[in-house]
Amino acid sequence: MISLARKLRTTEYFTLAFGTMVGVGWLVVMDDWLRRGGPLGAILGFVLGGAALLPIGYVYGHLVIAIPDAGSEIAYTEKVFPRGVSFATGWMMSLAYWVVCPWEAVAVGKIAAYLSPALNSVELYRVAGKPVYLPHLMIGLALAAVITTLNYRGIRVSATFQNWTTFGLLALFVLFASFGVARGRAVNMQPLFSHSSFVSILLVVQIVPYFMTGFESVPKCAEQANPGFRSRGFFTAIMLAVLVGVVFYAAVIAVVAWVYPWQPLTRHSFATAFAFRKAFQSEWLVNIILAAAVLSLLKVFNGNFIASSRLFFALGRRGLIDERVGRVHERNLTPANAALLVGLLTAMGAFAGEAILIPITEVGSMASAVGWLATCAAYLAIERASGRRIVAIAGALVAVALIGMKLLPLVPGHFSVAEYMALGIWILAGLAFRRKAKAA
């Protein structure tokens, strides 16, 4: 069997994890975050949600050292559960990662149109009342083609791209955040919550899994570690990515609400850029924010593409879906067919347009929690040390709570009909893939 190329070091694993986690939500849906929680509600939602994910990160950090398999959740669950559970877990986690790719393909069109409003032209059709414009679609499809090509050619190319875009984002964020801290006022953050404090935090905590999914992308590339790589680096990259991700999200929310009164921002798209434009009356600073957003979009698109293609590859390698998806390119040493599949699915998703942005956030959160629950359960079945088992139980309880928040009708922010439909379509697609593989 041909192996995947082994090129990655600790730095690449960190930029993969953080880069896969932090996208352009801080620009594109900041209005939704503030509407849900207000400044302090959104900050606490991300801090508490991120802290709750630390036990899950701990479990992944230990499992990837013990089982360095591209299948990650698929590999962990197959050790202790029936084959059907392994497939279901892998299929749901594939959704959690893949679903970000069309999200970014749509978001890049929105960012481009923000810079050049003339792109909001040539309306093709509407989805859920929201227009799909030809220029938006073409830009999204072009980016999908570029990311697919990068991942088809090799992990070294993808990893270098991930490093530059991740550290570029962090540098630009420090720059514009410094200006925001110097100019803002505390009164802009009043009131601190959009609803009662509990409901405000709860509404934000529900979406944290979507915006924090990515730390567990590290195990998906565990087979591609440099021969001299020390396995402890997996654990370090995962935990560091979670911590830096929480700090980033909390900081950007605080800066936006500090620099301009937050309530009017809930009525504007690209609330982060709008706040800085109003506060500074400066286009160059807004352009820095948009440049940071573009870098962030590119890296999160690439990171989620890498992770989802590895999961599809692992499913194919095990015969859980068409075995051709599990083949390695003889020259590039990449999961080439899996990359092409993710590219095709991304292009199909991009045709849904802007209407998919919020439903994708909700469904992706729940799908991630399903994979985390299965992973913690597998770790409990494998691990014998009582201290580590307690951490795994804590992680499993967090995952159960996150799933319940989306599925239980009594909880504010539960799934709408659109989200149930999206989840149902993915489950039916999985059953079709599985049935076809069995028949082959």
| CATH code (residue 171) | 1.20.1740.10
Question: Which residue has tokens 């985390």?
Answer: 372
Q: Is 387 exposed, middle or buried (0-12, 13-18, 19+ CB in 10 A)?
A: exposed
pLDDT digits (tens, 9 = 90+) for 365-416: 788 889 999 999 999 999 999 999 999 999 999 999 989 888 888 877 788 8
Whether 1 is in a domain gets the answer: no
CA–CA distance from 418 to each of 118, 198, 357, 366 (Å)? 30, 26, 12, 14
Q: What is the mean pLDDT of residues 102-128?
A: 87
Among 48-52, 188-192, 355-359, 362-366, where is mean pLDDT lowest?
Answer: 355-359
Closest CA to 64 of 54, 77, 76: 76
Whether 67 is in a domain gets the answer: yes
Whether 5 is in a domain gets the answer: no
| Residue 358: per-residue pLDDT | 67
Question: Across the chain, what does the average pLDDT equal?
Answer: 90
Domain of residue 129, residue span: 10-439
| 45 in Cβ contact with 201 (< 8 Å) | yes
CA–CA distance from 195 to each of 313, 408, 430, 432, 439 (Å)? 44, 20, 39, 43, 53
Q: Is the pLDDT of residue 360 over 80?
A: no
Q: Is the pLDDT of residue 48 over 80?
A: yes
Coil/strand/helix, residue 124: strand
Whether 4 is in a domain gets the answer: no
| Residue 71: per-residue pLDDT | 93
How many domains would you assign to the chain? 1
Whether 31 is in a domain gets the answer: yes
| 99 in Cβ contact with 367 (< 8 Å) | yes
| Residue 213: per-residue pLDDT | 83
Whether 3 is in a domain gets the answer: no
pLDDT digits (tens, 9 = 90+) for 231-282: 999 999 999 999 999 999 999 999 999 999 999 999 888 899 999 988 888 8
pLDDT digits (tens, 9 = 90+) for 133-163: 999 999 999 999 999 999 999 888 889 999 9
Distance CA 343, CA 151 (A): 10
Q: Is the pLDDT of residue 305 over 90?
A: yes
Whole-structure pTM value: 0.90
Q: What is the mean pLDDT of residues 282-294?
A: 88
